[in-house]
Amino acid sequence: MVFVVGLLEFKPENMATQICISIREPTTQKAVESAARAAEWADLVEIRGDFIRDLDLGLLLRVKPRPVIFTLRSREQGGAYHGSERRRLETILQAARCGADYVDVEFSAPWQVILQGVPRERVILSHHDFEKTPTDLNSLADAMAASGAGILKIAVRACCLADNVRVAHLLERGRERNLKLCALAMGNAGLSSRILGSLWGSWMAFASLPGGDETAEGQVPADVMTYQYRVREISRATQLYAVVGKPLMHSLSPRIHNAAFVARGKDAVFLPLEAASFGDFLQFHAKFPLQGVAVTIPYKGDAQALAYSLSVAAEQTEAANTLILKESRWHGENTDVEGFLRPLRRRTHPGKMRAVVLGAGGAARAVVYALRSQGADVCVVARDAAKARVLASKFEATHAGWDQLESLRWDLLVNATPVGTYPETGVSPVPAGFLTGQWVYDLVYNPAETLLLKEAAQRGCTTIAGSEMFLGQAWKQQCLWCETPPPENVMENALTEALAQPLPNRMSRDR
């Protein structure tokens, strides 16, 4: 069965992703210009008329580089329209007469007025829940379908990864009934529904204009949807990989791992899964099986407990930051160890070094284990003396108080604390006068050059940036997942490009 809707052909049995870029601009002219820009990536353009102060429908719809959805969202449904409801509905009808390919009207509004004046196949009946994902989405979809509207849109808020499973079930049921249904989950936890929605049966996927404002929480820029996540190429044969943690949305892992998969020619996509709990992640995995997972804060201990088998590094550090699916069971690895050692080994032999490690958390544990495994002498220094003592004892290292740092002699100083991370870039974990050794290694990678590294270089130390460790552990993950080394230059270029575009509140360590 094939439905022809406006300028688009919809085939439920073999649906390709349609990317819809939602335009939010303050003037008609800017909306026209943005719609023209959107044509590079979009199959559809949604113009949010409720944000346009000088709305001129004739000018707005005169030239359409892509089919246009006209939306005049009410304030009750998250929009910015201030006029009367009667005037709003009249404007929607006028937009249809002026050439809008589709018009959107809310299920909570007098939608019958729109269906009386616009052919049903051009009407999108929408519902938004900005607080939660309702438990009974099927009943809602049935009631909306009974209206006779040609296209249904249901947007809910994901409070956990499991809410994506509800959206997927809704879409799969809609596909079985040949409904033209767009369903998605807003918010960080709902990103998977935007990337995988078409695989589940969604009629379109919403994206923001690159460089423009998002019109809903969690929208992904269209160029990222197209080139990083390759949503138009995702099929049932596509293997799924992910990073799981919380918070997560500024993770750089998807960028470099997806670049590696493209360079390999591997049919796979790497997703960020911001999970409410590790059990929440397992519910997602039960519905959408993953082949490999990168695990970050705060779930490394959970990953270790889950794993059927562990590498020596994962067992010794009591943390698994990488899971590999082997014969339906998870094997746990800790690639932070190799990620830390790899850039160091390229420069020198760490075996005879005297090293001072700042911090006593999970990152410090991986560093201390890595250095001790090479034979280095290690001293742990942390604000919490008890934690420093426990960590040192576990790996037969020494420990010292923070007030003793100035008197310590070292060849290698490692910062395994978050001090110096964006936005607090003007601070260093140690005064510049303490930098008397040869090597300084900072695990923080945002900014790319921390104040600690700048001051260390000025004092003649050789420095190693945290981005090298991040790249090293990701390289090792690719080796484990694909059983062959990845194209390291591709991953390095992807990371360099990402770091050149700073994001607010990006995590200091994505491990």
C-alpha 352, offset from chain centre = 40
Per DSSP bridges, beta strands 322-326 and 292-295 are: antiparallel
Q: What are phi and psi of 134, to 5 degrees?
A: -60, 150
Q: What is the mean pLDDT of the chain?
A: 91
Q: Please write the tens of the pLDDT for every residue from 237-292.
A: 999 999 999 987 778 999 999 999 999 999 999 999 999 999 999 999 999 999 99
Contacts of 33 (CB under 8 A, 6+ apart): none
Q: Are 285 and 161 in contact (CB under 8 A)?
A: no
* Residue 216: predicted pLDDT: 82
Rounded to whole angstroms, the Cα distance separating 53 from 81 reads 10
Assess whether pLDDT exceeds 90 at residue 313: yes
Class of domain 3-235: alpha beta
Assess whether pLDDT exceeds 70 at residue 95: yes
Cα–Cα distances in Å, from 119 out to 149, 277, 352? 9, 46, 78
Q: What is the dihedral of CA 50, 187, 511, 211, to 10 degrees?
A: -10
Q: Please write the tens of the pLDDT for every residue from 19-76.
A: 999 999 999 999 999 999 999 999 999 999 999 999 999 999 999 999 999 999 988 8
Fold adopted by 240-337+476-499: Rossmann fold (3.40.50)
Per CATH, 3-235 and 240-337+476-499 having the same topology is answered no
Per DSSP bridges, beta strands 151-157 and 181-186 are: parallel
* Residue 16: predicted pLDDT: 60
* Residue 139: predicted pLDDT: 95
Radius of gyration of the chain (CA): 26
Superfamily of domain 346-469: NAD(P)-binding Rossmann-like Domain (3.40.50.720)
Q: Which of 300, 352, 387, 394 is catalytic?
A: 300
Question: Which sequence spans correspond to the domains of the chain?
Answer: 3-235, 240-337+476-499, 346-469
Assess whether pLDDT exceeds 70 at residue 507: no
Six token digits for residue 451:
């104040």
User: With bands split at pLDDT 50, 70 and 90, how would you rate the model's confidence at 101?
Assistant: very high
Q: Please write the tens of the pLDDT for every residue from 137-188.
A: 999 999 999 999 999 999 999 999 999 999 999 999 999 999 999 999 999 9
* Residue 468: predicted pLDDT: 95
Assess whether pLDDT exceeds 60 at residue 509: no
- State the angle between helix axes of 278-287 and 162-176 in degrees (0 to 180), rounded to the nearest 10: 20
Mean pLDDT, rounded, for 370-376 = 96
pTM greater than the 0.85 cutoff: yes
Mean pLDDT, rounded, for 368-391 = 96
CB burial class (10 A; 0-12, 13-18, 19+) of residue 243?
buried
Assess whether pLDDT exceeds 60 at residue 481: yes
Active site residue 454: no
User: With bands split at pLDDT 50, 70 and 90, how would you rate the model's confidence at 213?
Assistant: confident
* Residue 278: predicted pLDDT: 96
